[in-house]
Amino acid sequence: MGEPVARQELPMHRALQCLPAMPVQFAPQDDLPEGAAYEQHIFDTRRVPTRDNLHDFFNGLVWLQFPQAKRRLNALQAGAIAAHGIGAVRGPLRDALTVFDENGALLDAPAPLWDALNARQWQRLFVDLRPLWREARLVLFGHALLEKLVAPRKPIVAHVYRAPAPMASLAQADAWLAQQMQPEYWATKPFTPLPVLGVPGWWAANEDPCFYADPQVFRPSRAMSDKTP
């Protein structure tokens, strides 16, 4: 999907605009007026200021794959800005929206995997229950997350949201995700951190169980830490 954009010797905003069925227009970065809020500008104009870098390249691809969710996310950002303005702190809702926009993912997985993930039981999640990952599907949403994975590093974390089973298509997942973004609920950050390179099949190094014996990445739950003498 992104290959036609990457091959074009054009400014990023023009290359992205060549993809069919884009739900917004992509504009050069200087389309954003000085002092204007990025999210508010997109909401008001349906134009996305775009730089010539990987970060904005992946943002464009996510707009193509998740148009409803991206529009909903942008509308909530703009609504929060209109209500509270731009301050030094984003506030719970804008902070949660930004976290998911940058590093979010959807995970459709059997209940035992979710139980182990929520409990931060990494050995159980990735080693004991490893065969169950064949029944799971992880779909990346965050454009910063995609950018990070261009140069993979063990500590990369996705903030995953539990998806319905099964996700028949990306279009279905997109519509469902947009409906999930209710302000009061989303402000609670209903996400779970997942070290994505620990997922079976995502990095060859995790075939060795010792890969997970790294407390700097695979941290125990706070409850377990509190029990440590």
**DSSP string covering 49-96:** EE-SSHHHHHHHHHHHH-HHHHHHHHHHHHHHHHHH---SS--HHHHH
28, 109: one domain: no
User: Which of 65, 83, 110 corresponds to the end of one domain?
Assistant: 65
Nearest Cα to 186, choosing from 71, 122, 93, 50? Answer: 93
**pLDDT tens readout for residues 114-144:** 999 999 999 999 999 999 999 999 999 999 9
Residues 118 and 200 in one domain: yes
Beta bridge mates, 108: 137
Classify 65 as helix, strand or coil. helix
Tell me if the pTM is above 0.85. yes
The verdict on residue 85 lying in a domain is no
Pair (104, 53) in one structural domain = no
| Vertex 99: Cα angle to 212 and 94 (nearest 5) | 155
Cα angle value 9/10/15 (rounded, 5°): 110
Q: How many CB atoms lie within 10 A of CB 215?
A: 10
- For residue 4, the model assigns a pLDDT of 74
Does residue 116 belong to any structural domain of this protein? yes
Residues 105 and 212 in one domain: yes
Q: What is the pLDDT of residue 223?
A: 57
| Residue 209 and residue 120 share a domain | yes
Three-class SS of residue 84?
helix
> Are 152 and 197 in the same domain?
yes
pLDDT in the model for residue 84: 86
Contact by Cβ (8 Å): 138, 105: yes
Query: Is residue 114 domain-shared with residue 201, that is, in the same domain?
Result: yes
Q: What are 70's two structure tokens?
A: 């991206």
Residues 211 and 135 occupy one common structural domain: yes
Residues 137 and 39 grouped into a single domain: no
pLDDT of residue 119: 96
DSSP 3-state assignment of 32? coil
Please state the rounded mean pLDDT for residues 154-174: 92
> Domain residues for 133?
100-216
Q: Does some domain include residue 79?
A: no
Among the candidates 65, 88, 116, a domain finishes at: 65
92 belongs to a structural domain: no
The verdict on residue 130 lying in a domain is: yes
Number of domains in the chain: 2
**How many angstroms separate the CA atoms of 213 and 122, rounded?**
9
Give pLDDT tens digits for 25-56: 999 999 999 999 999 999 999 999 999 999 99
Which domain-ending residue is among 65, 85, 113?
Answer: 65
